[in-house]
Amino acid sequence: MAVALNEAELLALVDALADGAWHSGEDLAARSGVTRAALSKRIDKLRDWQLEVESRQGLGYRLRAAIERLDAATLQAEVPGLRVAVRPVVDSTNTRLLESESAHDPQALFAELQTAGRGRRGRQWISPFGANLYFSIAWSWPGWPRELTALSLAVGAECALALQDFGLADIRLKWPNDLLVDGRKLGGILIEHRGEAGGSCRVVIGVGINLRMAAAQGEQVTQPWINLDEALARLEHAAPGRNALAAALLRRLHARLSAYEATGFAAVAEDWTRFDATRDAAVRIQGGTEITDGIARGVDASGALLIETARGMQAIHAGEVSLRLA
């Protein structure tokens, strides 16, 4: 009977290869205390994790690009009021937190790899190991905060502000939940909530940001996309480390969520407007068989998109609709 590969042993192999340099198979096998045949099986498993491991006769193995694994202790120290965990592999960080105990809120879960990452409207979120950031935050309030429908916009504004702090001056937000650079998707937000009207409210906020995903890793992405590395390089800025960016996002989101019950969307409405990718542009909204064409005129206090149409101004709520530039 085949023995299941131990996750900790696989992570040790990832760490041995993390610098992106060549490492001989003999040295890696000795370091792991296994045979060359067993090492080969572990390398195959890393490839199953969508890590791009190269092999070459006489040189051994290397990762096509160096990686920085996330460190839970480092992130926890940055945001003491938030319980932070990092898992190597999960199906979906949103799914895991939706099934977690609300007594542990507020809590954040990062994954190096998602096997069933989800985007808005049921779309798959491509999540190769260590290439990007994938995390979720679970937050509970005793009651339903005002302007909960605008929460994804507030989260988007805080993510954009964090990225701007690292030099990404051309970051834009596409209603209701996309982060864009030059019209290409850099990241996205998925919010799911639980609760009953008049009672407590619990939200799980999923965030995914492309950092340095290789073309082969992202070949299943069905829309134009861009990495943060590329976007910053064009502006002659160095890309932050994964832990530095994760910490910056956690700090901003923790502060915004802590205040949201009292301040609502109004506290970041001006920021969102500044990043708005479609303001005063011709757009098309499609929800089911219904299509609305018009000019985008920003959002209202509830986070609804305002569309100037031939029939007058209409407020479009997120739900199961898609927004396209006309």
Could you say which DSSP state residue 150 is in?
G
CA 98 to chain centroid, in Å, comes to 16
pLDDT exceeds cutoff 70 at 195: no
Known active-site residue 185? yes
In order of 114, 154, 247, 248, the CA distances from 85 in angstroms are 15, 24, 13, 16
Angle at 322 between CA 321 and CA 326, to 5 degrees: 135
The H helix count followed by the E strand count for the chain is 9, 14
* Cα dihedral 233, 236, 241, 243 sign: negative
| Residue pLDDT, tens place only, 9-47 | 999 999 999 999 999 999 999 998 999 999 999 999 999
What integer is the mean pLDDT of 268-274? Answer: 96
| Residue pLDDT, tens place only, 48-83 | 999 999 999 999 999 999 999 999 999 999 999 999
The domain covering 72-274 belongs, at the CATH homologous superfamily level, to Bira Bifunctional Protein; Domain 2 (3.30.930.10)
pLDDT of residue 146: 82
* pTM of this structure: 0.91
Q: Mean of the per-residue pLDDT values for the chain? A: 90
Q: Which of 62, 120, 174, 252 is catalytic?
A: 120
The CATH code of domain 7-63 reads: 1.10.10.10
pLDDT band at 2 (very low <50, low <70, confident <90, very high): very low
**Residue scoring higher pLDDT (194 or 316):** 316
Q: Which of 185, 212, 252, 256 is catalytic?
A: 185
The DSSP bridge partners found for residue 133 are 209
CATH entry 2.30.30.100 includes domain 278-325: yes
pLDDT of residue 126: 75
Give me the residue spans of the domains in the chain.
7-63, 72-274, 278-325
| Residue pLDDT, tens place only, 94-123 | 999 999 999 999 999 999 999 887 655 556
User: Cβ of 149: how many Cβ atoms within 10 Å?
Assistant: 18
Known active-site residue 120? yes
| Residue pLDDT, tens place only, 168-177 | 999 999 999 8
- 7-63 against 278-325: fold identical: no
pLDDT of residue 1: 39
Known active-site residue 256? no
**Residue scoring higher pLDDT (281 or 289):** 281
